[in-house]
């Protein structure tokens, strides 16, 4: 038995100015393959590692043609997608009994292609071979993606703490197919709405209710998998928005019935999936009021509009300016990507006092250039290397940060990096000698992966109205170019009618 296992985890933000470069698709730099990929990722808590472990447990010959994983950024080069497709095709041409892929679902190229092209090419090459895919909860599903897979299953948590378990689920179904025990059939559909990921965490009441329906559906003996996708509004496609995929054992009517029930429930809750933030000044003022009460733990202000995981530049200074203007002290802010400032810090050395122009080096698509913030501060905690994620989201993966350090100015400690860094845990702060738990305030450029780590000690966590590349749906309304219309909430007159979108795999 020969199994092809690969990973291509790429999320695109159509409004991000950060280019998607080939050398960012892995820590080498560039993607890993073969034994190098296995050594790098087999112990990580990601879908690829689970698929790999399952294939090995079957006693199969396993080939890993590529593992390409990169931070969220602008749509990728079409030529880079072609390199990834060709690597996997080359392995499949040698013959295989199954193909198992760890994909994202919100990838776009500059011409508008998505993962559907990869799956279509593989299906043409191996028309009778089972193809199993793990998808990110924030993926955008469409007909081509679904009809060219045998089984599609998404994460059921956001923040994503079940990536490995999703891989195990896909592998179980593929194994049952190989043994001739099941014959998957799939129904899928979406709704004419887009939402904000910050309003669609799976612990939020509206989405928690949907996920309870998913759990109930999977109790049915003929349901092999039920998946709900929140989608990614930053990935500007006609199909962007929440969707549902139901895989049953040769029962398309049951699959369609469950899919319809969930889509109706998603539509009924559409208003709950839109994030309507308060003015930035009020969020910061609220932090001051809460800390004045003596409430323990740092008050966390989240600049999710400038998060690496959402395609932000991580150098937007709107929230930073407001924090400084309101005089907050005993604060950690970051991580802020500024290679120029990081280089100056390393050249000066720990203990040096330097004056820098921080941030605002990149401008999101459709925005006007902004001014950096001038700071005079003291350098400390110089660091240059990788950090290993220890939190429950993408545990065990290694993240390059490049030359980094802490710059302290007027009671604020700025964490400055060369590479964009998403705080999946506290590793980037600890790497430069800081202890966030001991601070009054923590301003994080992150989207939500940090929540399981920070929630136990935070006084409160508030998402701010930042001005980065990952603005809310309503704030970014004028940027959308290909999103279908009418669509809620951009068009209040948007309507939804059920229609069958089935795939007889």
Residue 196 contacts residue 274 (beta carbons within 8 Å): yes
Q: At what angle do helices 34-41 and 47-57 cross, to 10 degrees?
A: 110
Among the residue ranges 26-30, 107-111, 360-364, 412-416, the one predicted with the least confidence is 26-30
505 pLDDT tier (thresholds 50, 70, 90): low
**CA dist., res. 203 & res. 233, Å (int):** 19
- For residue 118, the model assigns a pLDDT of 98
- The residue to which tokens 């100056």 are assigned: 344
Residue 234 has pLDDT above 90, yes or no: yes
Q: In this predicted model, what pLDDT tens digit does every residue of 42-80 receive, in sequence order? A: 999 999 999 999 999 999 999 999 999 999 999 999 999
- For residue 251, the model assigns a pLDDT of 97
Task: Give the residue extent of every domain in the chain.
Answer: 2-274+499-503, 280-471
**CA dist., res. 163 & res. 452, Å (int):** 15
Structure tokens at 19: 């280019």
- For residue 459, the model assigns a pLDDT of 96
- For residue 339, the model assigns a pLDDT of 98
C-alpha distances out from residue 50 to 42, 57, 214, 334, 412, Å: 8, 10, 22, 32, 42
Q: Is 302 exposed, middle or buried (0-12, 13-18, 19+ CB in 10 A)?
A: buried
Q: In this predicted model, what pLDDT tens digit does every residue of 337-371 receive, in sequence order? A: 999 999 999 999 999 999 999 999 999 998 999 99
**CA dist., res. 154 & res. 134, Å (int):** 6
Whether cis (ω within 30° of 0) applies to the bond prior to 159 is yes
The two counts, helices (H) then strands (E), for the chain are 13, 20
**What value does the mean pLDDT of the chain take?**
96
Q: At what angle do helices 78-93 and 115-125 cross, to 10 degrees?
A: 20
Percent of the chain at pLDDT exceeding 90: 96
The residue count for the chain: 505
- For residue 441, the model assigns a pLDDT of 98
CATH of domain 2-274+499-503: 3.40.50.2300
**CA dist., res. 290 & res. 296, Å (int):** 10
333 strand-pairing partners:
414, 443
- For residue 289, the model assigns a pLDDT of 94
Residue 468 contacts residue 308 (beta carbons within 8 Å): no
Residue 502 has pLDDT above 60, yes or no: no
Structure tokens at 416: 């400055």
181 Cβ neighbours under 8 A, 6+ residues apart: none
Q: Which of 374, 372, 333, 379 is nearest to 355 (CA)?
A: 374
Residue 9 has pLDDT above 80, yes or no: yes
Q: In this predicted model, what pLDDT tens digit does every residue of 407-445 receive, in sequence order? A: 999 999 999 999 999 999 999 999 999 999 999 999 999
3-state secondary structure of 477: helix
Q: What is the mean pLDDT of residues 169-197?
A: 97
Q: In this predicted model, what pLDDT tens digit does every residue of 123-176 receive, in sequence order? A: 999 999 999 999 999 999 999 999 999 999 999 999 999 999 999 999 999 999
Q: What is the mean pLDDT of residues 369-393?
A: 97
Q: Which of 366, 369, 368, 370 is nearest to 480 (CA)?
A: 366
Q: Is the pTM of this model over 0.85?
A: yes
């Amino acid at each position: 038995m020969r199994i092809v296992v690969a990973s291509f985890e790429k999320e695109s933000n159509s409004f991000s100015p950060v280019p998607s470069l080939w050398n960012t698709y892995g820590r080498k730099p560039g993607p890993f393959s073969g034994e190098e990929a296995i050594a790098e990722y087999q112990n990580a808590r990601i879908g690829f590692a689970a698929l790999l472990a399952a294939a090995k447990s079957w006693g199969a010959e396993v080939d890993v043609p590529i593992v390409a994983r990169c931070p969220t950024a602008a749509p990728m080069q079409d030529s880079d997608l072609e390199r990834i497709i060709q690597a996997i095709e080359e392995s499949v041409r040698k013959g295989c009994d199954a193909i198992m892929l760890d994909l994202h679902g919100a990838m776009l190229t500059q011409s508008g292609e998505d993962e559907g092209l990869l799956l279509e090419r593989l299906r043409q090459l191996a028309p009778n071979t089972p193809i199993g895919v793990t998808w990110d909860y924030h993926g955008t599903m469409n007909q081509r993606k679904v009809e060219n897979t045998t089984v599609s299953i998404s994460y059921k948590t956001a923040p994503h703490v079940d990536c490995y378990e999703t891989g195990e689920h896909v592998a179980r179904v593929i194994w049952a197919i190989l043994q001739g025990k099941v014959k998957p059939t799939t129904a899928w559909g979406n709704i004419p709405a887009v939402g904000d990921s910050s309003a669609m965490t799976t612990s939020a009441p509206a989405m928690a209710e949907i996920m309870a329906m998913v759990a109930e559906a999977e109790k049915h003996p003929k349901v092999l998998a039920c998946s709900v996708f929140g989608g990614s509004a930053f990935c500007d496609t006609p199909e962007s928005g929440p969707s549902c995929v139901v895989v049953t054992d040769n029962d398309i009517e049951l699959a369609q019935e469950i899919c319809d029930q969930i889509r109706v429930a998603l539509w009924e809750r559409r208003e709950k999936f839109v994030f309507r933030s308060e003015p930035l000044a009020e969020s910061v003022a609220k932090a001051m009021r809460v800390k004045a009460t003596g409430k323990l733990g740092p008050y966390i202000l989240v600049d999710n509009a400038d998060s690496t995981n959402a395609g932000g530049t991580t150098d937007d200074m709107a929230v930073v300016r407001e924090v400084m203007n309101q005089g907050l002290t005993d604060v950690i802010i970051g991580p802020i990507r500024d290679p120029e400032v990081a280089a100056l810090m390393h050249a000066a050395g720990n203990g040096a006092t330097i004056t820098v122009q921080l941030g605002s080096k990149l401008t999101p698509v459709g925005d006007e250039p902004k001014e950096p913030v001038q700071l005079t501060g003291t350098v400390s905690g110089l660091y240059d290397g990788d950090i290993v994620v220890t939190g429950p989201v993408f545990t065990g993966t290694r993240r390059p940060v490049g030359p980094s350090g802490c710059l302290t100015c007027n009671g604020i400690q700025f964490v400055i990096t060369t590479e964009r860094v998403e705080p999946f845990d506290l590793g980037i702060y600890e790497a430069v000698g800081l202890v966030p738990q001991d601070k009054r305030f923590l301003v994080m450029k992150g989207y939500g992966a940090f929540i399981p780590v920070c929630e136990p000690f935070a006084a409160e966590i508030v998402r701010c109205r930042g001005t980065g590349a990952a603005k809310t749906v309503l704030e970014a309304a004028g940027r959308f170019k290909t999103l279908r219309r009418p669509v809620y909430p951009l068009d209040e007159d948007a309507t939804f009618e059920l229609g069958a979108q089935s795939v007889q795999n």
